[in-house]
């Protein structure tokens, strides 16, 4: 059984989301507070062995899954990648804002989350028809 490839624009949007996450995650391994979502951390929490490392590892994993989905171009891996980016970035944005740490990181997470979940819904609608 073969799956139908999704349109290039959908694959491109998911690849762009993955590249944006890579662009902010990879340099942050050298200095975790250079990432907008981690800029408010200080002390032990800002080290790679603590909260910052867990966040960066999760973001890198999401970007790899989304990148695989974009390269493969079929519905299941693309939906998993889009959901991962959408859910976790919206989750971070909401909780950063609720706990008073909103700012560039929360706004970026909100934008990435909305685009990711919107893309997931578009993929679902296209494949459910």
73 φ/ψ angles, rounded to the nearest 5 degrees: 80, 5
pLDDT tens per residue across span 17-57? 999 999 988 998 888 888 877 877 778 878 888 888 888 99
Residue 2 lies in a domain: no
Is residue 114 in a domain? Answer: yes
pLDDT (0 to 100) of residue 12: 97
Q: Which of 11-20, 37-46, 67-76 has the lowest mean pLDDT?
A: 37-46
> Which of 69, 87, 67 has its CA nearest to residue 22?
67
Q: Is residue 1 part of a domain?
A: no
How far is Cα 91 from Cα 61, in angstroms, rounded to an integer?
Answer: 16
Would you tell me how many other CB atoms lie within 10 Å of the CB of residue 6? Answer: 21
How many independent structural domains does the chain possess?
Answer: 1
Domain-embedded: residue 34: yes
Residue span of the structural domain in which 44 resides = 8-128
Q: What is the pLDDT of residue 2?
A: 58
Of 53-57, 88-92, 121-125, highest mean pLDDT: 121-125
Q: What is the mean pLDDT of the chain?
A: 89
Q: Is residue 24 part of a domain?
A: yes
Q: Which residues of 82-102 are buried (b: 16+ CB within 10 A; e: fewer)?
A: bbbbbebbbebbeebbeeeeb
- Number of Cβ within 10 Å of residue 8's Cβ equals 11
């Amino acid at each position: 059984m073969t799956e139908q490839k999704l349109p290039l624009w959908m694959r491109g949007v998911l690849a762009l989301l993955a590249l944006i996450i890579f662009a902010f995650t990879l340099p942050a391994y050298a200095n975790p507070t250079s990432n907008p979502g981690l800029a408010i951390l200080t002390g032990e929490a800002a080290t790679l062995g603590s909260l910052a490392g867990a966040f960066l590892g999760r973001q890198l994993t999401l970007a790899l899954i989304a990148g695989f989905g974009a390269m493969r171009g079929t519905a299941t891996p693309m939906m998993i990648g889009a959901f991962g980016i959408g859910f976790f970035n919206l989750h971070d944005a909401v909780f950063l804002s609720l706990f008073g740490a909103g700012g560039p990181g929360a706004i970026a997470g909100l934008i990435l989350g909305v685009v990711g979940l919107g893309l997931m819904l578009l993929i679902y609608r296209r494949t459910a028809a």
